[in-house]
Amino acid sequence: MKDTISRFLRLTVLAILALVGMGMALIFMVSTAIAVGVLYIVARLRGQPFGIRTYWARRQAARAKPFQYGKQHFSNQDAIDVEVREVR
């Protein structure tokens, strides 16, 4: 009997967690749809066409590229040849 009650309680907790997770996912999807709708309205008010791919490409082009600056800062002139000797 205790085993049945324990399994029932575990199943209940799991079901509640699943429902909470689905609710959070639904809220995320709705808020994303609202944000895209606002972007669409703003683009229409400015008289520009709105496309997700164009918007994303424009946002990515504005970001600084990682590891891009490493090539500019280092050159062969910065390298120093060091001789290592054994100390006894």
Tens of each residue's pLDDT in the chain, 88 residues: 788 999 999 999 999 999 999 999 999 999 999 999 998 899 889 888 778 787 788 888 877 666 655 455 555 666 677 777 777 7
Residue with tokens 């520009």: 48
What is the reported pLDDT for 5?
92
What is the reported pLDDT for 55?
76
Measured distance CA(35)–CA(55) in Å, rounded: 13
Q: Give the number of other CB atoms < 10 A from CB of residue 55.
A: 14
What is the reported pLDDT for 29?
97
